[in-house]
Amino acid sequence: MQHIAKVLQLVQLEWLIDKKRPTVLAAAILQLAIVGLLTMLSQPRILESVWNSIFWISLILSTVQGVSKNFTMVSSGRWIFWSQIASNSQLLWSKIIYGWANMLLLTAINLFIFNWFMGFPVKHFNAYLGIILLVTGGISAVFTFVGAVATKAGNAGYLAPVISLPIILPILLVGIKASTKTLNPVLVSSVYTDMFLLGALDILILVLTGVLFESLWKE
């Protein structure tokens, strides 16, 4: 329980720090709005499958900097402070959870923007919501860990997007495939197989992230 309480305290501290620098979140929201507007202007009668694909791609490209900043925008002095108040595992889990919360917020904003400009073609929202939770959870873990790797290597702002995008492709492709099935009037049972696969990928990513982060950050 003490471990969980410390993680939640770190999440709250991250939120207080981000309140002082809202430009990153504002830039991500602006990118989502621009993509939604341009998509509506270029494709007034957009196909449902295309709507879904652009929704996911715009979300990933707009959130990569916002989530990976959990490590890339932290100064060396603040790292000394973090290391004095929390363990490596507590620090990692707090940043993954906070990154996940950021992605869920941006996902909700992106859904609102796409619904405002082009309508909402999803027929089975509960399944779509489950896919969103699984995809954003795995991607936030990838972005967080890649941000840590890029910070150690230097030039974090350039390395984080380059390294993370190829890694998240399996999650993104399975997520797009599964979410496309929720656009059909009849929900096929294979969507649950895709969701199970997404859950397995999330677990694998979280386990590998926890193991690799300890060896990476022990310095």
pLDDT of residue 218: 59
Q: Model-level pTM?
A: 0.86
Residue 133 predicted with pLDDT over 90: yes
What count of other Cβ atoms lies within 10 Å of the Cβ of residue 182?
22
Report the chain's mean pLDDT, rounded to a whole number. Answer: 81
Percent of the chain with pLDDT over 90: 21
**Between the ranges 38-42, 133-137, 213-217, where is the mean pLDDT highest?**
133-137
Of the CA atoms within 13 Å of residue 84, those in its CB half-sphere come to 6
Residue 54 predicted with pLDDT over 80: yes
Question: Residue 120: left (phi > 0), alpha (psi -120 to 50), or beta?
Answer: beta
End-to-end CA distance of the chain: 27
pLDDT of residue 169: 87
Q: How many angstroms separate the CA atoms of 168 and 68, rounded?
A: 13
pLDDT digits (tens, 9 = 90+) for 156-215: 556 666 777 778 888 999 999 999 999 888 888 888 999 999 999 999 988 888 887 777
The answer to whether 166 and 115 are in contact (CB under 8 A) is: no
User: Taking residues 70-77, what's their average pLDDT?
Assistant: 59
Phi, psi of 118 (to 5 degrees): -130, 10
pLDDT of residue 88: 73
